Structure 1
Amino acid sequence: MAQKHLTRDHIVLTAIAFVDQHGLDALTMRRLGDVIGVEAMALYRHVSGREDLLEGMVANLIDNLFEDDLMTETPSSWEDYLQRVANATLPLAREHPEIFPLIATQPSEAPWLRPPLRSLRWVEDFLSTLQRFGFSDENAVSAYKAFTSFLIGGLLLQVHSTGVDHLIGFDGDEASNEESDLSGYPTVIKLSELLGQDHSQREFDDGLDDLIERIRWTLTK
């Protein structure tokens, strides 16, 4: 009976939940089948293999951004649109840290589809929206490239913003301090408190503001 109701969407959503809980390395077709309650071979009727499954997971998360409250409202300006896209995408990185790196690394449908806005639907929406606000062809494409470069970098930093102090052994844990001999790095030790501060949200917001200013400047040239 389970196989009768099995769909690609159900498989993809179950895989997303599995990776969120157990990590990407733990995902296999056999384990996913066990979670769903079917033999692994039953999954192959809906996904051709693990790579197809990973692409389905990425596509699901990216396209679902269109359902975010920020994206269902009509933007008042191109600046407002960029703010909405950026802040709709931000929770994606935070809520799915095990999956988000896939969005940056999985091959896309075409080489000019840039992560994280890597679907044809997203590129169409992005470029057409900017052109409705008066962007030329060249300025719209340039903004798409600049914005996606900022976004993927900023969101990957959000994924990895677990605290520099923990990563390099500033958390007071004896084991980590034994593994990280910092005696030869006096400047790092001196600045350890500053390095350990997490300002990722402010840096993301500031970077987005700076990008919007740069795009605005190009429009006046």
Structure 2
Amino acid sequence: MTPHQPQQPSPTGTLGAQPAAGPEKAITPGGRRPLDRLLILREAVRFIDAHGRERLTMRRLGAELGVEAMALYRYVPGRDQLLDGVVETVMDELYGLTMELQRPGTWQEFLQQMAHGVRAMAMEHPKIFPLVASRPPAAPWLRPPLRSLRWVEAFLQGLRHYGISNEDSVLVYRAFSTFLLGHLLLESATYAVEPRLDAASDIEFVETNDLAAYPLVMELSPELSLDAFDNEFEDSLEELINRMAVVPR
């Protein structure tokens, strides 16, 4: 399935009001442009994709934009709000990957479309996906990784479109969220590689570094190291949908 070209994230949000006058000019590939919240969040997404979440600071982000860190606080009150905005931005991208497509003919195809969209987002932003899964949700009963009220509303509306009852829609949402969280957190972790410590400084796991002490692991290492995520994802998704198909509606 060819992923839908993501739509530009919505500039609306609650992370700070636009300044009254005198906007800073950010350095961009096309020249200098007025600094705004959307530009800051997009650059934060790009920075985390390239360098990881732990390295993101207001000072470093300001340097990437060619402005002083203090200029960012006019649009984003602090780092926590910045991270919330990053999640909001990629969830807007997910909405474009999934909800702005034409609905397929069956609910099974709908769930396939949704699952592949979430996976595409997770693989596009493997260093951000754990953040999507762990930031406080917009409502306490939303399950990770689908923490956007707009996305969940459209998802439930989609299930209703196919005649699925409210009660069963909640069961589908919960099972679907659990499946995606478990699989995609594991898969994204294999792509979000951080710099490794050398054996001498890896104190916590120093006793496990000698693989010769684990002969069966060594024997099976060629099979254990195979990248089987594509097949595992498709097989698990098909099994999940088949289980849902036997629930009376």
Quick check: 1:47 aligned with 2:76? Answer: yes
- Tell me the distance in 2 between the aligned counterparts of 1:129 and 1:69: 11
Superposition TM-score, scaled by structure 1 size: 0.86
Q: Which residue of 1 aligns with 2:25?
A: 2
Q: Deviations over 1:95-153 (max 9, x none)?
A: 21111110111111111111222111111111111112111111000100000110111
Quick check: 1:26 aligned with 2:49? Answer: no
1:26: Cα distance to partner? 1.0
Bigger share in helix? 1
- Tell me the distance in 2 between the aligned counterparts of 1:84 and 1:71: 11
| Aligned match for 2:237, one of 208, 216, 221 | 208
| Aligned match for 2:226, one of 185, 197, 208 | 197
1:186: Cα distance to partner? 2.7
Q: Deviations over 1:45-104 (max 9, x none)?
A: 111111111111111111222222784222211111111111112121112111111011
**Number of equivalent positions:** 207
Q: How does 1:93-108 map to 2 (within 5 A)?
A: 93-108=122-137
Amino acid at match of 2:37: R
Quick check: 1:92 aligned with 2:115? Answer: no
- Which segments of 5 or more consecutive residues in structure 1 lack a partner in the other structure? 168-177
- Tell me the distance in 1 between the aligned counterparts of 2:35 and 2:233: 40
Aligned partners of 1:71 and 1:84 also within 8 Å:
no
Which has the larger displacement, 64-73 or 127-136?
A: 64-73
- Tell me the distance in 2 between the aligned counterparts of 1:202 and 1:71: 26
Q: Which residue of 1 aligns with 2:9?
A: none
Quick check: 1:146 aligned with 2:169? Answer: no
Give me the identity figure in percent: 47
1:33: Cα distance to partner? 0.8
In angstroms, what is the RMSD of aligned CA positions? 2.2
Superposition TM-score, scaled by structure 2 size: 0.77
Amino acid at match of 2:25: A
- Tell me the distance in 2 between the aligned counterparts of 1:67 and 1:127: 16
Which has the larger displacement, 48-57 or 211-220?
A: 211-220
- Tell me the distance in 2 between the aligned counterparts of 1:112 and 1:77: 27
Q: Which residue of 2 aligns with 1:72?
A: 101
SS in 2 for 1:112: coil
- Tell me the distance in 1 between the aligned counterparts of 2:96 and 2:120: 13
